[in-house]
């Protein structure tokens, strides 16, 4: 399942579980477990356990929420993430005394 925030036209955003990543050729969004951002049942839904089919005509955009870190090395699509660069150690930083002196004098 892919967790997403679906922004509908003229409605507050809702969270939902997508069965698969949306494709450019899709015309419908199929999802389950639709809830408001605070975890409640939206007023336009009768049964929370249903499968929902939303035409993209009513969807402004979709935020794909990254997976939790328990899926080490993979993103929400299951593909490997590029390695993040390590931050430079603080010991390599030098203070430019002349620059600081010029700032104080100005």
**CB burial readout 19-28, b (16+ within 10 A) else e:** eeebeeeeee
**Residue 94 banded pLDDT, cuts 50, 70, 90:** confident
Distance CA 31, CA 104 (A): 59
Element holding 103 (H helix, E strand):
helix 97-105
Q: In the predicted model, what is the mean pLDDT of residues 95-104?
A: 82
pTM for the complete prediction?
Answer: 0.61
Q: How confident is the model at residue 21 (pLDDT cuts 50, 70, 90)?
A: very high
> How many other CB atoms are there within 10 angstroms of residue 13's CB atom?
16
For the chain, list the domains and their CATH numbers. Answer: 2-64 (2.30.30.100)
Q: In whole angstroms, what is the distance from residue 19 CA to residue 3 CA?
A: 9
């Amino acid at each position: 399942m892919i967790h997403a925030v679906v922004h509908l036209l003229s409605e507050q955003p809702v969270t939902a579980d997508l069965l698969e990543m949306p494709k450019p050729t899709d015309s419908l969004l199929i999802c389950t477990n639709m809830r408001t951002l605070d975890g409640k049942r939206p007023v336009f839904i009768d049964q929370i356990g249903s499968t929902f089919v939303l035409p993209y005509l009513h969807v402004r955009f979709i935020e794909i929420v990254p997976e939790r870190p328990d899926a080490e090395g993979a993103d929400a699509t299951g593909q490997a993430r590029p390695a993040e660069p390590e931050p430079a150690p603080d010991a390599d930083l030098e203070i430019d005394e002349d620059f600081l002196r010029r700032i104080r004098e100005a």
